Structure 1
Amino acid sequence: MTLPPLKLFLLFSLFSISFSHETPSSHDHHHVFPRPLILEYSELEEEVRLRCSSWRFAGEANNLSPWKTVPKECAEYVKEYMTGKGYVYDLEIVSKEAEEYAKSVQLNEDGLDAWIFDIDETLLSNLPYYAAHGFGLQVFDHAKFDDWVVKGVAPAIEPSLKLYEDVLNLGYKVILLTGRSEQHRAVTVDNLINAGFRDWHQLILRGSDDKGKRAVIYKSEKRSEMEKDGYRILGNSGDQWSDLIGSSLSVKSFKLPNPMYYIS
């Protein structure tokens, strides 16, 4: 079969372009990576993504040893997750499941059925702060974080705000239990109200007697005090396992995603 002149011209042009990219002159060939290396780089990139996904899963399942920072190779992965749809979808499914459970419980009429909420990365998002500090790549700095808290501008985590309102409307006593210091009570109250949260029953912050206690001990002790006061802890929402485990556990707990930091 004889090709028309125009097709022959296009065909030779394509060959010319192809060879011009694949056979560089000797003086610049060291700037060009062979195709197999490009493929290997792509595979390596996918390998890093898969390993970081597995690392995040292990963290959410509480299978990791205590860690101080996000692994360096996972910094970009965590950033993409926290600023993308994946984080939002994960928050939504946790809140939806918590809401279904909250609706399924027959509450008593004595007003002592309680639901506990953590604050940071549970009700309020500190993502603006962590965006400026490597999304967990930098070692946590208490002083810098306190400076952020004092600004009182942390936005609401929207799925949590919806759950919070539903839990209130169902008749639960809402108790806020946070690792924030008592000295930040006023700014925390203002921040919560400005973000849309209202009508909580108690707001518990770390007092001077709680300084230096591991979070899991501090929060277990506070839950124990609630039980001594007659409260039945039916639900508990938090982004750290230390919010949820220990003693005096809730009937059901709900872990929100957070691959940026770990608190024991």
Structure 2
Amino acid sequence: MAIFRLLIILTVAYTSLSQSIIQISTEKQTLLASDGISDHPKIPNDLYCESWRFTVETNDAGIWAQVPARCEGFVKDYMTGDKYQSDSEAVADNSLAYAKTVELHGDGKDAWIFDVDETLLSNIPYYVRHGFGSEIFDEVSFDNWVDMAEAPAIPASLRLYEELLELGFTIILLTGRTEFQRNATARNLEYAGYSNWERLILRHNSDHGKSATIYKSERRKQLEDEGYKIHGNSGDQWSDLTGFAVAKRSFKLPNPMYVIA
């Protein structure tokens, strides 16, 4: 009988503890369980869009064409608000913490690779006029924006870039932009405060039709064949970071506006 009473007491205590740790209300459980399959219309927009952004950043969402219409305002608020800046700073801090542990050889071959768009440069001024990713991407209008060379720096990335140079890393820029955009891209980078990169690599005609993952992997492999040691790689797309000839450590910046495979 004493053992039976002890089991009852432990069961009650465990149930109370579990309810105090997992703070999901019965109302919210019902709400989540009763959602439709398509777009989860019964979940409040902020909750739905934050979860949608999470699946994008973890690459669980896979390839998608545009931001859900109901999340346009959410993405706008995120990209222009403190949360995006804080997330970017956190990535930069983690990158720098790792960089300080790397033993450099001092031969100019200790490389850190950066993507350009939404990694070093912010295209938010363009997306303000194009729905923050809720519109289907228009290559012509984006190319016109690139030619203007007015994209500002992402402050956290500029800070990381400068500190990596001070540590002695060789900076290589590897972008999906095409060769005919070289002058505008270099001019924009300098205007935004970036300098002293070792190489700016853009797509050639021979790269036409290649996925971003294959194109960037091939370019990294060429760098390795030249003797570069790719210690770090920063990009806003998983295709900037994955594939083959990957860096020893890769760091993904946030970007819920678009995906490039």
- Pairing 1:119–2:84 present: no
Mapped partners of 2:68, 2:184: distance in 1 = 33
Bigger Rg, structure 1 or 2: 1
Match of 2:157 in 1: 160
- Deviation by residue 1:1-37 (Cα, 9 ceiling, x = unmatched): xxxxxxxxxxxxxxxxxxxxxxxxxxxxxxxxxxxxx
**What are the ranges of 5 or more consecutive residues in structure 2 without an aligned counterpart?**
1-30, 32-40
**Equivalent in 171, 174, 179 of residue 177 of structure 1:** 174
Match of 2:139 in 1: 142
Structure 1: which amino acid aligns with 2:54?
A: F
Counterpart mapping for 1:177-256 below 5 A: 177-256=174-253
**Equivalent in 65, 75, 78 of residue 78 of structure 1:** 75
Mapped partners of 1:76, 1:109: distance in 2 = 47
1:231 Cα shift? 0.5
- Pairing 1:58–2:55 present: yes
Structure 2: which amino acid aligns with 1:161?
A: L
- Deviation by residue 1:83-110 (Cα, 9 ceiling, x = unmatched): 1111010000000110111111111122
Local SS of the residue matching 1:203: strand
Mapped partners of 1:98, 1:118: distance in 2 = 14
Matched length: 222
Structure 2: which amino acid aligns with 1:128?
A: P
Local SS of the residue matching 2:111: strand
Structure 2: which amino acid aligns with 1:135?
A: F
Local SS of the residue matching 1:107: coil
Mapped partners of 2:205, 2:256: distance in 1 = 29
- TM-score, structure 1 as length reference: 0.82
Structure 2: which amino acid aligns with 1:54?
A: S
1:46 Cα shift? 6.9
Match of 1:23 in 2: none
- Pairing 1:262–2:241 present: no
Local SS of the residue matching 2:100: helix
Local SS of the residue matching 1:69: coil
RMSD of aligned Cα (Å): 1.3
Structure 2: which amino acid aligns with 1:189?
A: A
Structure 2: which amino acid aligns with 1:198?
A: S
- TM-score, structure 2 as length reference: 0.83
Local SS of the residue matching 1:247: coil
Local SS of the residue matching 1:57: helix
1:47 Cα shift? 1.9
Mapped partners of 1:120, 1:217: distance in 2 = 18
- Deviation by residue 1:113-167 (Cα, 9 ceiling, x = unmatched): 1000000000000000011000000001111100000000000001000000011
Local SS of the residue matching 2:234: strand
**Runs of 4 or more off by more than 6 Å in structure 1?**
none
Local SS of the residue matching 2:91: helix
Mapped partners of 1:86, 1:46: distance in 2 = 22
- Identity level (%): 54
Match of 2:64 in 1: 67
Contact 2:106 2:168 in 1 (8 A): no
Mapped partners of 2:133, 2:106: distance in 1 = 44
- Deviation by residue 1:48-85 (Cα, 9 ceiling, x = unmatched): 21111011011101111200100111111111111111
Contact 2:171 2:197 in 1 (8 A): yes
